Structure 1
Amino acid sequence: MAALETFAATRSKLFAELQEDLKQRGNPSVNISRFLDCLTATTEGGKLNRGITVVKAGYALLPNPPTPQEHAHLRILGWLVELFQAAYLVWDDMMDGSEYRRGRPCWYKGEGVGLTAINDACMLKSCIFMLLRRHFRGHPEYAAFVELFHEAAFRTELGQLCDTTTAASGQIQDMTAERYEFIARNKTAFYSFYLPVALAMLYCGQASEEGLGQAKSVLLDIGVYFQIQDDFLDVFGDPAVTGKVGTDIQGSKCTWLVVQARELSDVHQQQALRESYGQKGMDHERRVKGIFSELGIDVLYTDFEKRRLGELQAQINALDESRGGVKKAVLNMVLDSIQQRDK
């Protein structure tokens, strides 16, 4: 809890810096006020797991106890990941037509926001590079930080493209395991799991080519597991706990659940899925959920989760930390943070 409070406290300092940058550019006060409202609304209420992962990974990688400057730098890098997350959630909510995020109306649903949220998300993303320049221009890995965020952006957008085009087609036969894997690795896993750890490795001077490669291999697999959890919670989770109402079924999303249902269903169930999956209305949603229940998708998920956790742990245990390999303790920390979550 203390680590979370310390991390959260850094946000006010960074927001004050961004406010000052806007003033220096001659922005009207109304612009500044509006943007600060956006910064606050889109970064509040989350678990902050991605940002805190940067900090915890950095502490584990530094050869000595962190100095005050290292403490501050790791927290700043963590908040840059949270800003990245905020920008893409704004875009994602708009594209999915979502109503709620973190227990409150999505940013674009706010009074007077609407489509201007597109530009708000662009500004959130631009703030990452403003703050990187301010705090890390003298760091030996500054260029690598910039390139990593650009790579994360491209991968996320590539995954989003595949996600939205698959949903738009509405064709159950297109929702294959291979397509699902591509979406999960790019849209979610890269920025949610590899980006935070790679930033910490770069900052701490622990980013050998072999170490980054090991980290990416494991963390992308962990990220796919995380996305499967998300898919399950969208349908079977409690909105009072998750903070959002599930939209995957009516949104015709390519999820782990529908991939399993497509492979396990008989001809009649497949016809029902084609008729109701992606259609608006609670009757269609209940029909799809009924098929999921008939197929025992919830039991299948429980068995999968137990098996997958064992596989991921074995993958970590098999790594060689010598010759610049990634520290197993960092990967174990990440895996432990998402095991059997309910939101």
Structure 2
Amino acid sequence: KANNISDDRVKPVLSKIAVLLQMLNDYQDLYVDSKLLGKDGTDIQQRKCTWFAANLLEKAFPETKESFKSIYGSEDPGRVAEVEALYSSLQMEEEFDKHKNDLCKIIDTEIASIKDAKFRHALYSVYQKSIGAKIEEAHF
């Protein structure tokens, strides 16, 4: 362990940063104009296990879950719109923003608790650059 940097303090921070990056990717796929991203958002059509899909399945009523399961993964633009409408009706974008902000606060706190100043600064810099680029792309 170089410079007394403990893996048990760094790994959880890096895991949370990875989760946040994936969440931002999921958000971009769903809400950001494909012209800005340079790619079409197809997570719904590809039936990907996104933050939005997982949270809907966790929080929705059984009948909503069944409806979602029957249309998620469809190439049909009408079905894709139905999935988006389900997300909207459950206020998933607002829930996402709250979860993202809470996770950012936790990451900031965990990075701040790392005693080695040089490593803390380097980790925070990487975090800000990677997250900042994603946030800028998404135009939050």
**TM-score, scaled to structure 2:** 0.85
Amino acid at match of 1:283: G
| Residue 27 of structure 2 corresponds to residue 232 of structure 1 | yes
Indicate the residue corresponding to 2:127 in structure 1.
335
The whole-number CA distance in structure 2 between the counterparts of 1:255 and 1:247 is: 11
Amino acid at match of 2:100: E
- Aligned with 1:302: secondary structure? helix
In the TM superposition, 1:95-134 aligns within 5 A as none
Amino acid at match of 1:313: D
Amino acid at match of 2:23: I
Deviations 1:189-226 (A, max 9, x none): xxxxxxxxxxxxxxxxxx62853724433222111111
Indicate the residue corresponding to 1:208 in structure 2.
2
Gap runs ≥5 in structure 2:
none
Amino acid at match of 2:116: E
Indicate the residue corresponding to 1:248 in structure 2.
43
Aligned residues: 134
Indicate the residue corresponding to 1:288 in structure 2.
83
Deviation of the 1:307 alpha carbon: 1.2
Amino acid at match of 1:330: A
| Residue 86 of structure 2 corresponds to residue 263 of structure 1 | no
Indicate the residue corresponding to 1:278 in structure 2.
73
Amino acid at match of 1:211: I
- Give me the CA root mean square deviation: 2.0
The whole-number CA distance in structure 2 between the counterparts of 1:217 and 1:300 is: 23
Indicate the residue corresponding to 2:110 in structure 1.
315
Q: Percent identical across equivalent pairs?
A: 22
Amino acid at match of 2:101: K
Indicate the residue corresponding to 1:174 in structure 2.
none
Deviation of the 1:291 alpha carbon: 0.2
In the TM superposition, 1:88-99 aligns within 5 A as none
Deviation of the 1:267 alpha carbon: 2.4
Gap runs ≥5 in structure 1:
1-206
- Say if 1:224 and 1:210 are closer, same or farther in 2 by CA, change over 3 A: farther
Deviations 1:205-264 (A, max 9, x none): xx6285372443322211111100101111111112111111111111111100111112
Greater relative contact order structure (CA < 8 Å, 6+ sep): 2
- Aligned with 2:5: secondary structure? helix
Deviation of the 1:305 alpha carbon: 1.6
**TM-score, scaled to structure 1:** 0.37
Deviations 1:153-193 (A, max 9, x none): xxxxxxxxxxxxxxxxxxxxxxxxxxxxxxxxxxxxxxxxx
